Amino acid sequence: MNENMITNPILPGFNPDPSICRVGEDYYIATSTFEWYPGVQIHHSRDLANWTLVSRPLARADLLDMRGNPDSCGIWAPCLTYADGLFWLVYTDVKRLSGSFKDAPNYVTTAPSITGPWSERVYLNSSGFDPSLFHAPDGRKYLVNMLWDHRQTGHGDQFAGIVLQEYSVAEKKLTGPVHNIFKGTDRKLTEAPHLYFRDGWYYLMTAEGGTGYDHAVTLARSRDLLGPYEVHPQKHVLTTAFAPDAPLQRCGHADIVDTPAGETYMVHLCSRPITVTGSAGQSDIRRDLPGSNVLQRRSPLGRETAIQKVEWRDDGWLYLAEGGQHPTSLHTPRPAGIVAAAAEETAVRTSFAPGPLPSAFQWLRSPEPDRLFSLDASPGQLRIYGRQSPGNMFEQALLARRQTAHRYRAATRMHYEPRDFQSFAGLICWYNQCQYHFLSVTREDDGSRALRIMSTLGDFPFGKAVFSGEPQKLPDGPVELRAEVDEAALQFSWRVSDGAWQTIGPVLDATILSDEAGVGEGNNFTGAFVGMAAYDISGQGHAADFDWFDYETLG
């Protein structure tokens, strides 16, 4: 690999809606986490190429409680900025997704360090999502967010423009009139605003076209903060809507940052879809893609974060440095004069010890992790307490990590004696309540311990569980469970006492675990996870213990 190039995506796997800021020589990117807890991922880099997770700031109930939030709600599009010696984090906790309404309260919290402590949140408004804080040259602060209009029924018309209101630091609230400064272009679905000031111009960057394959980054500018804003000569600074064979797809929702040397870079979301031939699962997503023979595309890795070098030209507008409106490769030039950091080696095996949960893992919705798991109850093991059913929106004991490559192998060793058929635990490949595959240990009616494969295949909104193959009887003792994914194919296997691996069940459709399956493109917002889970739907909290968890990419 050319050492002068950055390889995309820089944040592989589910890491959408990037917001970037620089403090001295340090760069930080905040990304959406939706229903996964703790909320917001913040990565750090000094070279824009190699990134390390350093914080998940929304880790207290007074900052975030998502119990009851539907799938793909929760934390949408955080904005991270630095001013006045503080990090400012603005975020939405979406409480409703479907129907005519979006319940989307917006908050701000601050911290002197990226690792905290983060202040109590301040409520801002609920008029729309994707809030962003603009620190104006005169020291005043303004909140911008998209405006939601529930009265409209046309495609994209509920996205009613970008509104701006001043934020009073002293009063800790928004103050003064609300201004609709930009109604968007004919691409519609105008969201994700970020404001910048440069050479006497206010620049407004937005995302348009929805977060599917028609996504785009739109740029506009004005001499006056309140507008009117004129649109970029080519309208969209970045889009792959017209480039179905580009290596990165669904490019949009962007933010920019300047290096100390004055170079400019844009971070944006993207996806790397798998091409699917024929009908995959229960959701047929055939599209007419001019110039391409692709019939269906699915993105198990979700929306990832990529970076592009951009440049300000003599006309005062921003363009991709390579020209055009879409990236033509997975690479972009490194910043001049910045020495590339060595990439961190990631261990295949995660062991469990008393203390904090290993950073790769998250859980769903609840700010009370002690009710879900413990690293102290059985030293050297992760104990997961069986809670409510798969897909429960209040208390589900599932701990998982992101799928970051199209080919991977994951495994764990579990100690578990199920009480009856209502208690089950094991290895799960998860997207949401209507999209998962689960290899679990349970108890059959004859008293035997057995393995079962349970799936939901995208039948939104019902999430009906279906079972693959016959139950596999298990001997006593610990059992190792494994999932191997090769793009669209998922195969489970198992073994005991370090014996030979034995496959179980049929080859399953891994593309069920994608944005485009289930309710379909532009309506699912997360990505595939793999991890450990325990359920006890009798309500008695029967627990499972896990010795370790392996995750290995396979090229």
Q: Identify the pLDDT of residue 345.
A: 79
Which two three-digit tokens encode residue 399? 């701990």
Q: Is 395 a catalytic residue?
A: yes
Please provide residue 370's backbone torsions phi and psi, each rounded to the nearest 5 degrees: -65, -20
Q: Contact, 471 vs 478, CB < 8 A?
A: no
Work out the mean pLDDT of the chain and round it to a whole number. 95
Active-site annotation holder among 166, 322, 395, 552? 395
Taking residue 208's Cβ as centre, other Cβ atoms within 10 Å add up to 26
pLDDT band with cut points at 50, 70 and 90 for residue 283: very low
Residue 20 neighbours by CB under 8 Å, 6+ apart = 27, 28, 29, 30, 80, 255, 256, 257, 265, 267
Instruction: Give the residue-averaged pLDDT of 3-10.
Output: 94
**Can you tell me whether residue 370 is helix, strand or coil?**
helix
Q: Identify the pLDDT of residue 341.
A: 77
Which two three-digit tokens encode residue 398? 């599932």
Instruction: Give the residue-averaged pLDDT of 212-225.
Output: 98
In this predicted model, what pLDDT tens digit does every residue of 437-495 receive, in sequence order? 999 999 999 999 999 999 999 999 999 999 999 999 999 999 999 999 999 999 999 99
Taking the C-alpha atoms of residue 348 and residue 158, their distance in angstroms, rounded to an integer, is 45
Q: Contact, 109 vs 89, CB < 8 A?
A: yes
Residues β-bridged to residue 12? none
Taking the C-alpha atoms of residue 553 and residue 353, their distance in angstroms, rounded to an integer, is 24
pTM for the full model?
0.95
- Indicate if the pLDDT at residue 361 is higher than 60: yes
In this predicted model, what pLDDT tens digit does every residue of 78-114 receive, in sequence order? 999 999 999 999 999 999 998 999 999 999 999 999 9
In this predicted model, what pLDDT tens digit does every residue of 243-256 receive, in sequence order? 999 999 999 999 99
Summarize the chain as % helix, strand, coil (round to 5).
0, 50, 50
Query: Distance from first CA to last CA of the chain, Å, rounded?
Result: 15
- Indicate if the pLDDT at residue 176 is higher than 70: yes
Which of 158, 147, 101 shows the shortest CA–CA distance to 125? 147
**Within 241-387, where are the H helices?**
none
Taking the C-alpha atoms of residue 279 and residue 524, their distance in angstroms, rounded to an integer, is 19
Percent of the chain residues past pLDDT 90, beyond the cut? 91
Instruction: Give the residue-averaged pLDDT of 127-136.
Output: 98
- Indicate if the pLDDT at residue 286 is higher than 60: no
